[in-house]
């Protein structure tokens, strides 16, 4: 039996990872959603009841020692992720952890090192950047591959717009866009310039971020993060030598971009249009189901250290973590 456990039974676990894991175990033989854990017993119990999980715990170590899971999903507050991820990895349990994979480079390195030094060698580990696994993004990657690969991309523009986000640190959300553009470019960033526009009228920390620069494979990139913009959307324009790809991401249930939109324009006409099927559950459209299934399948098939998982490892998120940390510290340049 392949046993999956989850630690942290809050918002993202209830809305996204719980349904994703539940779907995965329902359609996969010899697989169990074995246990969940939260320091708040009411949350752990409610999660267990909602997803038919047979046992719940209030202590992570106890759950790990008793259950001996084959994979652990970690959905705890950002400031606890690194410490708890290291606990799971140092005991040798494969891990899929919510973003960000560290709030700075030190945390990312610490988790990656814990994975390298597992009791029986390298422990499979996976940074859950759900946007990479959205069907609309995978469709774009497929089209780009058909054009001849990332070398055909000339320019990527990404905009994250939000309503009334007065977060103390919006960088831990902005990291989604930073990671996604790097993922689509299939290349690390080279040099970036970062501009800030503080908006103290909305709150001491409310700030727009504007990032411009290039990737090491020569793509011009631009990213805007606007926490007080009047609408919740994330959209991309990817210019290629074969025309423009316009993407609208399905960021959550009921968002205005439905289950995802993709339009390929060539010679001023629509060459191809893809729309996510209306009514698709958001844990599927937003990539949570696919990231969970990918990581569990890799572990159960003994490919937990294969190329696909290495491409999605905690270490793969290092540069996005470094740049998000630049935003936190209001640095105006980033150089690899
Ligand atoms: N991918 C996305 O779009 C997305 C969106 C929101 C949040 N997130 C990420 O998900 C993670 C959790 O966010 P959330 O919104 O669910 O937060 P939350 O506060 O709603 O839930 C976190 C849960 O972890 C529990 N917890 C705290 N310490 C624990 C411990 N030692 N052991 C077990 N449980 C513990 C808390 O009691 C709480 O129930 C964060 O890393 C956040 O960045 C990702």
User: According to the model, what pLDDT value does residue 254 have?
Assistant: 86
User: According to the model, what pLDDT value does residue 203 have?
Assistant: 93
Q: What is the whole-number distance in angstroms between the Cα of residue 76 and the centre of ligand 1?
A: 3
Q: Hey, what are 295's tokens?
A: 């990581």
Residue nearest to atom 4 of ligand 1 (CA): 12
Ligand 1 pocket test, pick from 9, 10, 292 with the greatest ligand atom count within 8 Å of Cβ, gives 10
- Strands 2-7 and 261-266: what pairing? unpaired
Sheet holding 189-198, edge to edge: 269-275, 261-266, 243-248, 233-240, 153-161, 220-226, 207-215, 189-198, 333-335
The ligand 1 atom at the shortest distance from the C-alpha of residue 130 is: 1
Angle between helices 105-116 and 78-90 in degrees, nearest 10: 20
Determine whether the shortest distance from the Cβ of 61 to ligand 1 is under 6 A. Answer: no
User: According to the model, what pLDDT value does residue 92 have?
Assistant: 98
Q: What is the whole-number distance in angstroms between the Cα of residue 79 and the centre of ligand 1?
A: 10
Residue nearest to atom 29 of ligand 1 (CA): 39
User: According to the model, what pLDDT value does residue 228 have?
Assistant: 97
Question: What are the mean pLDDT values of the chain's consecutive 10-residue runs (336 residues total)?
Answer: 98 98 97 98 98 98 98 97 98 97 97 97 97 98 98 98 96 97 98 97 95 98 97 98 98 92 97 95 97 97 91 97 98 96
Q: What is the whole-number distance in angstroms between the Cα of residue 12 and the centre of ligand 1?
A: 6
Q: What is the whole-number distance in angstroms between the Cα of residue 237 and the centre of ligand 1?
A: 31
CA pair distance 72, 86, nearest whole angstrom: 12
Peptide bond connecting 79 to the previous residue in cis, omega within 30 degrees of 0 = no
By the 8 A CB rule, do 304 and 121 touch?
no
Residue nearest to atom 36 of ligand 1 (CA): 8
User: According to the model, what pLDDT value does residue 242 have?
Assistant: 96
User: According to the model, what pLDDT value does residue 140 have?
Assistant: 98
The ligand 1 atom at the shortest distance from the C-alpha of residue 288 is: 1
Structural domains present in the chain = 2-129+287-312 (3.40.50.720), 131-282+321-335 (3.30.360.10)
Q: Return all residues near 23 (Cβ < 8 A) that are at least 6 apart.
A: 283, 284, 289
């Amino acid at each position: 039996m392949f046993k999956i456990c989850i630690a942290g039974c809050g918002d993202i676990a209830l809305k996204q990872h719980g349904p994703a894991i539940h779907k995965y175990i329902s359609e996969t033989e010899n697989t169990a959603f074995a246990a969940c854990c939260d320091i708040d017993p009411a949350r752990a119990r409610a999660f267990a009841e909602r997803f038919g999980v047979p046992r719940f715990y209030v202590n992570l170590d106890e759950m790990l020692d008793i259950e001996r899971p084959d994979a652990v999903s970690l959905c705890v507050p950002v400031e606890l992720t690194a410490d708890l991820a290291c606990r799971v990895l140092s005991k040798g349990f494969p891990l899929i952890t919510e973003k960000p994979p560290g709030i700075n480079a030190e945390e990312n390195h610490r988790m990656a090192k814990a994975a390298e030094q597992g009791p029986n060698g390298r422990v499979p580990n996976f940074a859950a950047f759900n946007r990479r696994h959205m069907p609309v993004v995978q469709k774009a990657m497929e089209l780009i591959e058909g054009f001849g690969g990332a070398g055909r991309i000339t320019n990527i523009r990404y905009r994250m717009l939000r309503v009334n986000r007065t977060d103390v640190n919006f960088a831990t959300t902005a990291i989604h866009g930073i990671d996604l553009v790097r993922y689509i470019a299939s290349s690390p960033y080279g040099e970036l310039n970062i501009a800030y526009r503080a908006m103290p009228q909305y709150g001491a920390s409310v700030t727009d971020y504007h990032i411009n620069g290039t990737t090491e494979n020569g793509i011009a990139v631009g990213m805007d993060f606007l926490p007080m913009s009047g609408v919740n959307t994330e959209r991309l324009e990817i210019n290629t030598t074969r025309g423009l790809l316009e993407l609208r991401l399905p960021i959550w249930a009921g968002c205005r971009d439905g289950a995802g939109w993709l339009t390929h324009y060539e010679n001023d006409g629509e060459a191809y249009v893809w729309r996510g099927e209306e009514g698709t559950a958001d844990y599927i459209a937003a990539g949570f189901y696919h990231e969970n299934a990918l990581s569990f399948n890799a572990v159960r098939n003994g490919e937990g250290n294969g190329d696909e998982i290495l491409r999605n490892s905690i270490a793969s998120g290092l540069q996005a973590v470094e740049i998000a940390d630049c935003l936190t510290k209001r640095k105006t340049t980033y150089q690899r």
